A = this chain, B = another copy of it.
Amino acid sequence: MSSKGSLFVVSAPSGAGKTTLCEKLLKTLPNIVNSISMTTRPLRSGEKNKNDYFFVSETEFKKKIKNNGLLEYAKVFGNYYGTPKRFVEQNLAKGNDVLLNIDVQGAMQIRRKFRRNSRFIFILPPSMNDLKKRLLLRKTDTKLQIKKRLDMAKKELAYLNSYDYKIVNDDLKKAFGQLLSIVVAARCETEKRKVNLK
Contacts from A to B (Cβ < 8 Å): 121-122, 124-125, 127-129, 157, 160-161, 163-168, 177-178, 180-182, 184-191, 193, 195, 197-198
Contact = CB atoms under 8 A, between A and B. Distances in A.
Contact of A190 (B129, B161, B177, B190): B161
Contact of A166 (B127, B160, B182, B193): B193
Given A166-B188, A166-B193, 18 more contacts: A121-B188, A127-B197, A129-B198, A157-B197, A161-B190, A161-B191, A163-B190, A164-B189, A164-B190, A165-B190, A178-B184, A178-B185, A178-B188, A181-B181, A181-B182, A181-B185, A182-B188, A184-B185
A193 B161 CA distance: 10
A161 B164 CA distance: 22
B181 A168 contact: no
Task: Output the residue of A160, A163, A165 with the most chain B CB within 10 A.
Answer: A165
A181 B181 CA distance: 4
Copies of this chain present in the complex amount to 2
Consensus secondary structure, chain A interface: mixed
A85 B125 CA distance: 39
A168 B127 CA distance: 40
Nearest to A120: B190
Contacts of A180: 181
16 contacts: A124-B195, A124-B197, A128-B197, A157-B197, A160-B195, A164-B189, A164-B190, A165-B185, A165-B188, A165-B190, A166-B195, A177-B184, A181-B184, A181-B188, A182-B185, A182-B188
